[in-house]
Homo-oligomer: A and B are copies of this chain.
Amino acid sequence: MRKLVIDGHSHVTIPIENHIRLMDEAGIDKTVLFRTGVHPELKGSNDEIKEEMQQLQKYLTGDPAIADSYGEAAHEELFKAINKYPNRFICFGNISLNKDLGTMTKNIQTQISKHHILGIGELALPSGQIHKLENVFKASSQTACLPLWIHCFNPMTLEDILQIEQLAKKYPSVPVIIGHAGGSNWLETIDIVKRNPNIYIDTSAAFSSLVLKLIIKELPDKTFYGVDYPYGDMWVMRKMIERACPDKNIREKVLGGNIMKLLKIE
């Protein structure tokens, strides 16, 4: 039986039919879809795209409160796309980091029951503020122990990733996905993922095939294929994984099996 290919991390784009078409081209069966505050794919001129990317940087590295300004509309867009193609998308929800624990827990429960979310993310913070994630870990541990997907490329530092590790140790029932393989801190991230049963690694935004090869060799059961569409190219990222991983069994795990197991997808 052919194994499912799952893009473990992409953002909702408009029109969503374009997304489906690109998934078909790359042979992706399902995509774990995340909300977004920006839509570079809708911009025409270079200047408009650059402006949108500047906005993205602000969202990724600015105060988490900024996310509240676009969060609700972004969620609606996400849920609409998933309702339209429920067999092609898997939903990760998100929550405001500025709410108290009770509100967070309630929000997660609502998103689970209404939108069947299987994880929470993309969680993005400025460097030095990982402590703001503690309530999310707590809320997840008190509900369905949904995995948390955390942006760990720039501006995240090794110190930030080490603090994520501390939270993962404190809440061992909560799976954590280190987004973008920890960026330039991939070498130390491999060891962090290896020594913590509840930490996993996403490979979107990979900038080196040699590094990717090493990550897969070191973490064959914990590495996830991810595209980060519209920033990555689904087809290119799949080829990159395939060429970095000659072993068919491990390749199938990285391209889908590992995340299916974590998310308990049949």
Contacts and interface: CB of A to CB of B under 8 A. Distances in A.
A187 B236 contact: no
B239 A187 contact: no
Interface stretch (A63-71, A104-112, A203-211): A203-211
Contact of A209 (B180, B190, B214, B231): B231
Determine the main DSSP class of A at the interface with B: helix
A40 to B, nearest CB: 6
A217 interface: yes
Interface string A116-156: 00000000000000000000000000000000000001110
B187 A209 contact: no
Contacts of A184: 153-155
A153 to B, nearest CB: 8
Contacts of A231: 208-211
Interface residues of A, number: 36
Contacts of A183: 154
Contacts of A233: 209, 240, 243-244
A171 interface: no
Interface string A180-206: 100110010010000000000000011
Interface string A207-243: 1111100100110000000001011110110011001
B240 A236 contact: yes
Nearest to A61: B184
A46 interface: yes
B205 A228 contact: no
A158 to B, nearest CB: 11
A57 interface: yes
A153 B235 CA distance: 25
6 contacts: A46-B214, A46-B218, A155-B184, A206-B207, A236-B240, A239-B239
**In the A-B complex, the 8 residue pairs with the closest CB atoms:** A209-B233, A207-B207, A154-B184, A208-B231, A205-B207, A210-B231, A236-B240, A46-B217
